[in-house]
Structures are given as C-alpha cells and as structure tokens.
Chains A and B, each alone.
Chain A
Amino acid sequence: MISTLLRIQWTRLRRDRVAQTLTFVVPIIFFSIFALIFGTTGNGKTPSVRLAVVDEDQSAVSKRVLAALGREDGLKIIREAMPRSSAPNTPRVPIDRERATAMVQDGDVAVALIVPKEWGKHFPDFGQEGPEMELLADTSNPVAPQMTFGLLQKVAMSGSPDLMMEKGLKQMESAGSGFELSTKQREQMTTMLQQLRSSAEAADQEAAAETNAAVAGVAAAPGGGAINVKKVDVLGAKKTNPAIAFYAAGIAVMFLLFTCTATGGSLLEEAEDGTLERLLSTRLGMTGLLMTKWLYIALVGVVQITVMFVWGAVVFGLELWSHLPGFIIMTAVTAAAAGGFGMCLATLCRSRGQLNAVSNIVILTMSALGGSMVPRAFMPEGLQKAGLFTFNGWALDGFLKVFWRERPLWELWPQVSVLAGLTVLFLWLARRMARRWETV
C-alpha cells in the first residue's frame, strides 16, 4: 500500500513541471545567486571596497602609506574623478576633500580617506600629537570603514617598519631614560633601517593575503594603532535610526512585487472561472480590462508601501514626514511599474500554478540582485552592476536617494524615467500577450 502511494506521488511529480521547477530548479538558482553575492564566485576573497583618497599632505610618508594601501586586494583606490554633475567624457581631476565627500554621499565610493597636511611629520603618531587621518563614511555600509581602518593599521606596520623603529628609538632617547645608542650601534641601526625600508614593499605584498583574514579583528579593536583615524559620517549621522530606511525600502519593494504579481494573477483566475469571457463580452474590452486591473494593482501597491513606511515611521522612527515629496514620487512610479510587472507576468503565464513558480523565481532573483535582501554595496562590483538590470535596483536607488542620500527631487529623474519606461514596456507586453484571450 505504501509503495502504491509512493508510486502515485512520484508519477504526479514527474508529470508536474511546475512542482519539479519549485523542487529542484529554484533552490539551485537561489543557492547560485547567494553564492555569487557572498562567496564572490567561490574564490573566498572579500569584495573590493572602493576608496577615494585625498592626499593633502603630499609627503614621502603619506605617499608611501597610500602606495602600500593601493597594493591591498581588498581596496580599490580612486584618486581621480570627474567633477560632480559634469557631462560625460569630462576629464578626470584629482579628488579633493569636497569631491570626496560628495562621492560618498552619492554612493560612488563606499568610503573616502583624507590625509591632512603635516600628517607625515608625525608618523607614526603613538602620542597622538599630529593631525588625524579622516575616514569619510556612509553608515549604511558599516563594513567598508572598518575594513579600511584595519588595512591602514596593517600597512603602517608592514609597509613602514623602518619609520616605526626610528620613531620608537627617538621617543625612548627623548624620554630621558638614560638610554642612548653608541656610534657603532647607531651605524648598525641605520643599515638595518635601510634594509627594512627596501624590503618593506616586497614583504608587504606577501603578507597581504594572510592579513586580510585578520583585518576584521584589528579594525574592530577600539581606537589606537600607528595611524590615528577619525571616522566622519557624511551620511546617516543625524538619522535617528539609520538602517531602517534601507530595510523599509528593500522589503517594501520586494513585497510590492509579490503583491502585484498575486493581484495580477486574478486575470488568470478570471480566465479559469469564466468571468473573463463574460467581461470581454461587455463594453469593457481587453485594453480597458488590463488598464483597470493595472490601476487597481498600482493603487493597492501605493497603499501597501504607504502602510509599511508609516509603520516604520511610527514604530521605528523612520523619517517619513520630512521626505514626503520624494516618497510620494517614488511610491507612485514604483507601484505603477510593479503593477505593470504583475500584469506582464500574469499574461505571460498559462495558469496560477505557473505564475506562482515563475514569480517566485523572478522576484526573489531580482530582489537578491537588486539589493532588497542584501545591500548592493556589499556585493562584488559585477553583481552591483547586474543589480541595475533589475526592477528592485532602480526602485531602491530612488528610495535611498530620498531617505538616505537626501538628494534634491530633480536628481530622482534617472530612477523615475527608468521606472516609468518599464511601466509602459510592461503594459505593452501585457497587452500583446493578452491577445490569446481575445477573439480567436
């Protein structure tokens, strides 16, 4: 009896392609996506952090430290950029403090490092007498500044051992402890410092890989080290609950897509129940029917996002009221595009079961790549760019411009344009595919 039931179940699974897809294909797709995001194609390396560097000191020491920093695999050093809001193909110029701040605010780089004047004179600054380096950070990405800080301490140690030793001896001699090197000892010490200086670069590269693993621990250590760094939050410092804006936008967009697809599925339900046939026999027509359903889905989407953000404002302190105009614009275009997406997917599928399978795959994939689950800043650069091919990527960028980067409304034009264009495209595709329900 058990074997008969097992055989029946197995036969049903063999003949149900949707169930097969959900059982075997979907898990593999998601495993692959998350492996790509977190595993960086399986080579175990941490994704590179884009670091803007401004060397106001221009001393030999600062150049040496920054050069050593540039050899780190975990960092991608950017020294030049086009002026803000410039036309394409504008020549790149060295980044200054103001441009570096703007780059962090715009999300062009994860973090920026400012080496102030006179910094080199005091290195290594165990006594904390000289000016501090400044690390301009976006608090939405807590990993990048920590990682940069750790690597700075590392290159200070491994990249400049001669300077460290020299400074240490000077401090001991000047401390009045009676300690003083003989002439011969001083000559030997000078030779050793020269050897250390010449071998520093080579040793630095070899040690880099090993040190990468330990960076997190070093970076997490509170203060101290050979380099004094002051972290400056250029975004999110004034926010009462900075992470909420990210999660509200990410979750809202993902669930909006699920809601819109499920609501769009009512079209298939109507086809299966026979009400579609009756509706098409009325004066409404297919175009009228699709537009009405799209409008309804978009309105449901607007209400859903609004409820979610109001909840975020009331319970978690999300700053909704001060960003209301941007919120309204982004909510309207996002809901409109999501409605179009739902209609498009519903007309593409032949049954509710097929729609469920396809929507699960498409929405979860787009949400993973587009940053609804993991902020895109944490992903490898290639996946960050791939995220721009997703609906979520554009919608999230828009919401984050409003709530996080607090950009003026006109700067939302790329996101609004893309989402509006997607709305038109989705609806056009839906209309084309809905022909199968019309006169045959």
Chain B
Amino acid sequence: MLVAVIWSVVRHFRAVTVVLTIRNAIKSFGANQALTGASFELRERELLALLGPNGAGKTTLIRAIAGRVRLDSGEIEIFGEKVDATGRRRLLAVVPQELALYGLLTARENLAGFGRLNGVPADQIRDKVAWALDWTGLADRADEPIRSFSGGMKRRLNLACSVLHDPKILLLDEPTVGVDPQSREKIYDMLEKLRAGGMSLVVTTHHLEEAEARCERIVIIDHGSVVASGTLRELLEKTVGHLRAVTLTLDRPMPKGPVGCESADHGRVWHTKISDVAAELPGLIQSVRAAGCRVENIEVRSPNLQAAFIALTGKELRE
C-alpha cells in the first residue's frame, strides 16, 4: 500500500517536471538511418543542450518533435501524453535554423503576421508585438523592412516570431549560428528570460562553450541515438573524468621526471594529471627543483565539454 502511494507521488512528480519525453525514436530516409533509437527527457523550466556532430540526427529529432518528420517507430510525449493523439503540439514552438522571415516586411509586420498564424488573439497582438520588440531590443527599428537588418537582429526576430503565442516548450535549432559574440550573449539572455517565465527549452548548437556555460543539462547524440546525457559534471565523470591536465615547461631538459609524468620535447616539457591542484601542484614543483631545474611555465587545464564531446563522438570527420 505504502509502495503504491509512493509510486503515485513519484509519477505525479514526474508528470509535473518532465514536459517532453522522446522514447526510442527511429527514422530512416531510404538507406540512411537518421535516428536509431534516440531517447531523452526535457524537464520543466530547463535549458537543455542537444549536441552532436553534423549529421548526427539533431535536426531530424527536432523536426520529429515538431511534427514535421513522422517517426518509423518510437514515442514522443508532451506533458505525459502522446503528441499524435492530442493537440499537444500547440504547446511547443520551433525556432528554425534558417531565418524564416519576410524580408520586405518590417519587424512589426513579421511579428504580427506570425503571431496571428500561431493563434494569438487579435486583441492581444498589439501588446504581444510590443513585448517582443522590447524583448529583442528592436523597438527602435520596428517599422523598417528587415532585409536591412544585421544577422544578429534577424536571429533575434526569428526567435521572437516563434514565441508570441506563449508555448510551453521551445525547440531552437542552432539559434546563434553566424552571429557575433555580443548577439549570442543577447540571445541567451533572451532565452534565460523565457526560462524564468516558465518555458522549457531545447537548444541545438555547435558552440560547445555556450552549452557548457548556459545549459543545465546536455544531451549528446551521435549516429541517431543518444550517447550521453546529464549535467556537465556528470558527462565529464562519464568520459574524461575530473582530473586536471598539468603541463610543466622547464628551463632545460630533466632526465627523469616526477612519478606519473610523461615527457615531451626531450625532457623539457612534462605532462601529468592531478585531482587536487592545491595539494598536488606544490609537490610537483618541488620535485623539479630537487632535480636542479627551474619551472618556466605551468598550465593547468580543467576538463571541459569539448574534451567530453570528442571522447564520446571521436575525432573522425563526419562530412
């Protein structure tokens, strides 16, 4: 009895927190297997990075969630219900990778048009457009045809056109491609505001540092299926571990290095890995000094997403 109650509470908790579930998604285009059993979950108010090499299946997965690709098999659930059986897809929106905007229309006209097409009531359009112009920082250019806009401005407008109807889930396919660092910062700030407002977001990107810095969880997909998922720390634990890479450059070659070190450049450069920098690094420096050498430079590198990504997907070119 107690177990049943606990299980019921757990299920209720899951239904509230998991907004999107993809289970064993399989899709082939002729002989090309785009998805081979991808599964992952998106939680409420989460910013999730969906990463993978080119051709890994990210865009197919996004399009399948959006209803633009029909899976051969597998399930997609939104708020615990299958999307095919309900009008649940209305709860999600997609920001396409292409700048899907009308160049001859102004920013205001683009927003109003796509807002109406997405079902924003006529009496709310004006307020929604005003909010979007303010949110994107385009209020002062609202009535100019957007063909004269910069790439970053178009990207922001492209994003805004998808969210006027207040979707609960937002899928973004490379929202920062081809824009400068300032625009990327602005776009992630915009996404953060959406998340704070209760939206859950999935972002595909090749900018790993963005995913590392901005996303709570990361899903890595390769060859059509998820090869790892979790927080950055979890991914690092699963792949490259938590050890820091240390590189010591000496003033002259040292014939025999400290225990656990590997030499390069004929004994002048030494590599090793340590788990506690404060505790282990002084001992390393001391052993160098003891051998009569002087340390010219020390480089300590933390494990990062790039290393984990390469460890999971390999270095082989995909296209």
Contacts and interface: CB of A to CB of B under 8 A. Distances in A.
Instruction: Give the most central of B70, B94, B100, B161: most A CB within 10 Å.
Output: B100
Task: Return the 5 tightest CB-CB contacts between A and B, nearest first.
Answer: A274-B98, A274-B100, A278-B100, A282-B117, A275-B100
Interface stretch (B61-69, B268-276, B298-306): B61-69
A379 to B, nearest CB: 43
B93 interface: yes
Contacts of B101: 275
A310 interface: no
26 contacts: A273-B98, A273-B99, A273-B100, A274-B96, A274-B97, A274-B98, A277-B68, A277-B96, A277-B98, A277-B100, A278-B94, A278-B96, A278-B100, A278-B162, A280-B68, A281-B66, A281-B68, A281-B93, A282-B114, A282-B118, A282-B119, A283-B117, A284-B117, A439-B67, A439-B69, A439-B70
How big is the B interface, by class? 20 to 34
A440 B70 contact: yes
A279 interface: yes
B13 interface: no
A211 B204 CA distance: 83
Contact of B118 (A275, A277, A283): A283
Contacts of A282: 114, 117-119
Interface in A260-281: 273-275, 277-281
Interface string B63-105: 0001111100000000000000000001001101111111000
Interface string A236-275: 0000000000000000000000000000000000000111
Interface of A: 273-275, 277-284, 439-440
Contacts, number: 45
Interface of B: 29, 66-70, 90, 93-94, 96-102, 114, 117-119, 161-162
Instruction: Give the most central of A275, A439, A440: most B CB within 10 Å.
Output: A275
Contacts of B69: 439-440
A49 to B, nearest CB: 53
Contacts of A273: 98-100
Nearest to B97: A274
A275 B68 contact: no
A351 to B, nearest CB: 16
Contacts of A274: 96-100
Nearest to A284: B117
A270 to B, nearest CB: 9
A280 B94 CA distance: 11
Nearest to A289: B117
Nearest to B171: A281
Nearest to B69: A440
A283 B119 contact: yes
Contacts of A277: 68, 96, 98, 100
A56 B173 CA distance: 85
A439 B100 CA distance: 18
A124 B106 CA distance: 81
B191 to A, nearest CB: 18
Nearest to B119: A283
A59 B142 CA distance: 88
Contacts of A439: 67-70
Contacts of A278: 94, 96, 100, 114, 161-162
Nearest to B68: A439
Contacts of A280: 68
Given A274-B100, A277-B96, A278-B114, 7 more contacts: A273-B99, A273-B100, A274-B98, A275-B100, A277-B68, A439-B68, A440-B69
B302 to A, nearest CB: 38
Contacts of B29: 440
Nearest to B27: A440
Contacts of B68: 277, 280-281, 439-440
Nearest to A439: B70
A279 B98 contact: no
Contacts of A279: 117
A274 B59 CA distance: 14
Instruction: Give the most central of B29, B67, B68, B97: most A CB within 10 Å.
Output: B68
B93 to A, nearest CB: 7
A263 to B, nearest CB: 14
A275 B67 CA distance: 16
A439 B83 CA distance: 14
A275 B117 CA distance: 12
Contacts of B94: 278, 281
A3 B68 CA distance: 48
Nearest to B94: A281
Contact of B102 (A275, A281, A284, A440): A275
B175 to A, nearest CB: 13
A289 to B, nearest CB: 10
Nearest to B90: A283
A27 to B, nearest CB: 35
B75 to A, nearest CB: 16
Nearest to B93: A281
B276 to A, nearest CB: 50
Contacts of A281: 66-68, 93-94
A102 B117 CA distance: 55
Contacts of B114: 278, 282
Contacts of A283: 90, 117-119
A368 B69 CA distance: 44
Contacts of B90: 283
A439 B27 CA distance: 12
Nearest to B118: A282
A66 B97 CA distance: 78
B156 to A, nearest CB: 15
A439 B69 CA distance: 5
Nearest to B102: A275
A417 B106 CA distance: 42
Nearest to A438: B68
Contacts of B102: 275
A281 B118 CA distance: 8
Contacts of B99: 273-274
A281 B170 CA distance: 13
Instruction: Give the most central of A278, A279, A280: most B CB within 10 Å.
Output: A278
Contacts of B66: 281
B103 to A, nearest CB: 8
A273 B100 CA distance: 6
B226 to A, nearest CB: 22
A114 B162 CA distance: 76
B84 to A, nearest CB: 11
A277 B98 CA distance: 9
Nearest to A283: B119
Nearest to B64: A439
Nearest to A276: B100
A438 B162 CA distance: 19
A365 B69 CA distance: 39
B224 to A, nearest CB: 16
B20 to A, nearest CB: 16
